[in-house]
Chains A and B, each alone.
Chain A
């Protein structure tokens, strides 16, 4: 079975873009979530190989969602997406168990490289 990805971002624009990059590489985007609560719910339902998680989101932010997902599944592979200038958040995400980071704006090559690496691990 192929590799499945859950996309979490409150912006449809960002989700579409990431989906475009990932599908070009042959990954299956199995679900999308629009906030932290939705992310945890969809994670439970779909158990994706990799989750890409935006940090700044309404209702529940990405770091809180990451913590909950790690409780649900200690081996969950979650890649955090954060903008330049949020180094403090990156640190917090690392502590919460994120397996890698992608900086926004997305560089397609970097996205592909990170997903390939974490998926192979």
Chain B
């Protein structure tokens, strides 16, 4: 039988099972898992085995079978679910994930499952088995991460959603991307029709285009809804990330996730995964104190990290909050001056909020020692530019001794964003309004010089002026009485970016540039305006 038509479905359904498996294992390791959790774990392994066997993937079936077996023993109460089993099963889930990725990439699998299969088959509870399974540290005394009760709407074992009701269908993600493209095209074309309608002065055509507008709005809303996926899609793997890291560095951590049911555009959510992992790692590694330090400050010994997603108007706010040592703005500024990242006078003027943002400048790191966990200060700058590229922004709040919060604000949907259209020489470019702090029409006599640098006074703060034309390699005359500029943040510093003129603010439909243009720094996508003009969207934070 030709199984190729079922391959994609095998991959996506297997991955869902594996995600459930990881999630359930971590959950069971902490609270003695309920009967329902044990059953769900057993069933997931069982389903995986059946599917893999049908596809003829013998090794995936074999490994799933061993996991199913060990869970069957737990189910029959022949075995107690302990840390040793958790480690073995997580190892198995990781290996299965790799094997399924091999299938997805059409690679001949060369994974060696023999050793793990052997350990699963011969598992006996007790220190020996635990040490063999863990290999990194002595799990018998190692602290474990805990994550709290899942407080959100998505229950772990009301499974119909996960397995899909028979009345739902699966759609390939490319189809969704295509749908949104076609919808954007239709909207652009509607604008064209409306222009023609005005020229023809035909009431009948006008009537039809008005109706078309209404239908397109509905269509657009529906298409965007189809693309929404719950936060849990990425958040479900974070307890595992925090657990593994906490275990590795020997911290006791309570980890809670809130708002798993909050929905975001699939594209945004996927882009958010790496930044959140980075922030979480930072929190575990640097944000939280060691148990000893916490005892000395009279804090609970277990550190606490919360990951919260919530809706605020047309935005989704994602917060990572810890109750660790917090950050000292004065020390951050001192470090930045010492590393020559800011001048002493600029440092003196910095607010606490600005000081916290210094951590997002490339080359800045507050970690007193470099650990292999979160590496050297690289990362927070990448986090911020990723969030901005997704059309969002990042702010940091912190209180010394109390903890820190990293706050990510993101649009619900990525396809349509609000931009400021500006004119640069002969071209028009779009600046996401999230990157524009203010627009200014500046009188020339308000410009002063500081060495080679032209600056202007912005609410008492001298901001450097930069020609956006020049940055983009375009002719730059900037003639006229008033200079048009907008204030934005570049590499953690506020600057005034001078343009040839403002065209106005508008909602545009973002088109990804794809290969190869997407690899150009500073370009965040493109769009087609109602008049057919193609514009580029600037990723302002990364244009230098």
Binding site for B on A (CB under 8 A): 10-17, 20-21, 31-35, 38, 42, 56-59, 83, 85, 104-106, 108
Find out whether the CB atom of A108 lies under 8 angstroms from the CB atom of B43.
no
With A11-B13, A56-B46, A58-B43 known as contacts, the answer to whether A31 contacts B51 (CB < 8 A) is no
Find out whether the CB atom of A14 lies under 8 angstroms from the CB atom of B160.
no
With A14-B50, A83-B49, A105-B54 known as contacts, the answer to whether A58 contacts B164 (CB < 8 A) is no
Chain B's nearest CB lies how many Å from the CB of A18?
10
With A11-B163, A34-B160 known as contacts, the answer to whether A56 contacts B43 (CB < 8 A) is yes
> Whole-angstrom distance between the alpha carbons of A31 and B49 in the complex?
25
> Whole-angstrom distance between the alpha carbons of A106 and B47 in the complex?
13
> Whole-angstrom distance between the alpha carbons of A38 and B170 in the complex?
19
Flag whether B10 is at the interface (Cβ < 8 A): yes
Main SS of chain A's interface residues?
mixed
Find out whether the CB atom of A34 lies under 8 angstroms from the CB atom of B166.
yes
Chain B's nearest CB lies how many Å from the CB of A74?
26
Pick the contact of B166: A14, A32, A85 (CB < 8 A).
A32
Flag whether B204 is at the interface (Cβ < 8 A): no
With A11-B47, A33-B166, A34-B166 known as contacts, the answer to whether A58 contacts B40 (CB < 8 A) is yes
> Whole-angstrom distance between the alpha carbons of A10 and B5 in the complex?
19
Contact with A along B395-428 (1 / 0, CB 8 A): 0000000000000000000000000000000000
With A12-B13, A16-B6 known as contacts, the answer to whether A105 contacts B53 (CB < 8 A) is yes
Q: What are 20 A-to-B residue pairs whose CB atoms are below 8 Å?
A: A10-B43, A10-B163, A12-B9, A13-B10, A14-B50, A16-B6, A34-B164, A34-B166, A38-B166, A56-B42, A56-B47, A58-B40, A58-B43, A58-B157, A58-B163, A59-B159, A83-B49, A83-B53, A85-B65, A105-B50
> Whole-angstrom distance between the alpha carbons of A97 and B258 in the complex?
46
Look across to chain B and name the residue whose beta carbon is closest to the beta carbon of A24: B1
> Whole-angstrom distance between the alpha carbons of A13 and B165 in the complex?
13
Look across to chain B and name the residue whose beta carbon is closest to the beta carbon of A57: B43
Pick the contact of A104: B39, B43, B50 (CB < 8 A).
B50
Chain A residues with Cβ below 8 Å from B166 are 15, 31-34, 38, 42
Chain B residues with Cβ below 8 Å from A34 are 160, 163-166
Find out whether the CB atom of B5 lies under 8 angstroms from the CB atom of A20.
yes
Find out whether the CB atom of A35 lies under 8 angstroms from the CB atom of B160.
yes
Look across to chain B and name the residue whose beta carbon is closest to the beta carbon of A32: B166
> Whole-angstrom distance between the alpha carbons of A81 and B65 in the complex?
17
A-B contacts besides A12-B164, A34-B163, A58-B160, 5 pairs, CB < 8 Å: A13-B6, A17-B54, A31-B166, A58-B163, A59-B160
With A83-B46, A83-B49 known as contacts, the answer to whether A14 contacts B54 (CB < 8 A) is yes
Look across to chain B and name the residue whose beta carbon is closest to the beta carbon of A15: B166
Chain B residues with Cβ below 8 Å from A56 are 42-43, 46-47
> Whole-angstrom distance between the alpha carbons of A49 and B203 in the complex?
58
Chain B residues with Cβ below 8 Å from A33 are 166
Chain A's nearest CB lies how many Å from the CB of B450?
65
Chain B residues with Cβ below 8 Å from A16 are 6, 9
Within 8 A of A (CB), among B206-256: none
Chain A residues with Cβ below 8 Å from B39 are 58
Chain B residues with Cβ below 8 Å from A31 are 166
Chain B residues with Cβ below 8 Å from A21 are 1
Look across to chain A and name the residue whose beta carbon is closest to the beta carbon of B61: A105
Counting chain A CB atoms within 10 Å of each CB, the highest count among B3, B50, B65, B165 belongs to B50
Find out whether the CB atom of B46 lies under 8 angstroms from the CB atom of A12.
no
Chain B residues with Cβ below 8 Å from A85 are 65
> Whole-angstrom distance between the alpha carbons of A13 and B12 in the complex?
9
> Whole-angstrom distance between the alpha carbons of A104 and B65 in the complex?
13
Give me the 10 closest cross-chain CB pairs, A-B, nearest first. A105-B53, A105-B54, A32-B166, A58-B159, A10-B163, A104-B50, A13-B13, A13-B9, A108-B1, A56-B46
Within 8 A of A (CB), among B7-54: 9-10, 13, 39-40, 42-43, 46-47, 49-51, 53-54
Chain B's nearest CB lies how many Å from the CB of A42?
8
Chain A's nearest CB lies how many Å from the CB of B402?
43
With A20-B5, A34-B163 known as contacts, the answer to whether A14 contacts B51 (CB < 8 A) is yes
With A34-B166, A58-B40, A58-B159 known as contacts, the answer to whether A13 contacts B51 (CB < 8 A) is yes
Look across to chain B and name the residue whose beta carbon is closest to the beta carbon of A42: B166
> Whole-angstrom distance between the alpha carbons of A61 and B182 in the complex?
43
> Whole-angstrom distance between the alpha carbons of A21 and B42 in the complex?
27
Look across to chain B and name the residue whose beta carbon is closest to the beta carbon of A37: B160
Chain A's nearest CB lies how many Å from the CB of B531?
45
> Whole-angstrom distance between the alpha carbons of A33 and B5 in the complex?
21
> Whole-angstrom distance between the alpha carbons of A108 and B3 in the complex?
11
Chain B's nearest CB lies how many Å from the CB of A39?
10
Chain A residues with Cβ below 8 Å from B10 are 13
Chain B residues with Cβ below 8 Å from A106 are 54
> Whole-angstrom distance between the alpha carbons of A17 and B10 in the complex?
10
Find out whether the CB atom of B47 lies under 8 angstroms from the CB atom of A10.
yes
> Whole-angstrom distance between the alpha carbons of A21 and B6 in the complex?
12
> Whole-angstrom distance between the alpha carbons of A21 and B2 in the complex?
11
Contact with A along B153-170 (1 / 0, CB 8 A): 000010110011110001
